Structure 1
């Protein structure tokens, strides 16, 4: 491989061959780099869109149900009726000897088979 071969590269966005102006240059132009990164970000958002909608809805339901209270107890039927989806959460924590399922800054824990306690997590 001669020195001339190392100065050429193929743009991953357009597939065009170009001469590098820097040794670490990957794209033929800044515009191609921006378009490539925007396309990657769009595809990532698109892949996560359905789950993000469910998480946003779940957080809104918990926020509305809790209102200005520190904690509240609601039934399974009530939460289902409000549009809550139990199959989607962000993380779990252990607090006061109980497992809490969290949706961002809100959490719920099962009291019995039909009743849940809801709280807002404080930072």
Structure 2
């Protein structure tokens, strides 16, 4: 937008018109930029909150089941009873021909019909 040959811009947070001091300036003030980015980050955290809560719970279950051991074997019923939600994980990894389902720094894999091996990743 031009007013008397002066380039102006619109602040995305407040909608106010201002004269930018730099060619890439998008906000009228640094405070507006910080507030805009904080609101955007809060919105993203809120969107991920339910999933992250389940993932945190899954991590706690795997940590508790593993205890201070390097690896343990547990049945599906045991893990389900402990509260593990098998529908939520952070990533999967393949070591050779074994696929591991991971929740942050813990992983489990199927080793039998109703049996899983759980390990802590390094």
Q: Same fold (TM over 0.5)?
A: yes
For 2:99, the equivalent position in structure 1 comes to: 99
CA pair 11-74 structure 1, distance change in 2 beyond 3 A: same
CA pair 49-6 structure 1, distance change in 2 beyond 3 A: farther
Q: How many residues align?
A: 122
For residues 37-73 of structure 1, the C-alpha deviation after alignment (integer angstroms, 9 at most, x for no partner) is 0000001101111111111111111111101111001
Kept in 2, the 8 Å contact 1:7–1:23? The answer is no
Give the alignment of 1:12-31 within 5 angstroms. Answer: 12-31=12-31
Structure 2 gap segments, 5+ residues each: none
Kept in 2, the 8 Å contact 1:11–1:17? The answer is yes
Distance in 1 (CA, whole Å) between partners of 2:54 and 2:2 is 55
SS at match of 1:84: coil
Kept in 1, the 8 Å contact 2:2–2:8? The answer is no
Kept in 2, the 8 Å contact 1:10–1:27? The answer is yes
Q: Runs of 4 or more off by more than 6 Å in structure 1?
A: none
Of 36-45 and 6-15, deviating more is 6-15
Deviation at 1:112, TM superposition (A): 2.2
For 2:88, the equivalent position in structure 1 comes to: 88
Distance in 2 (CA, whole Å) between partners of 1:75 and 1:4 is 75
For 1:11, the equivalent position in structure 2 comes to: 11
CA pair 97-78 structure 1, distance change in 2 beyond 3 A: same
Cα RMSD over matched residues?
Answer: 1.7
Structure 1 gap segments, 5+ residues each: none
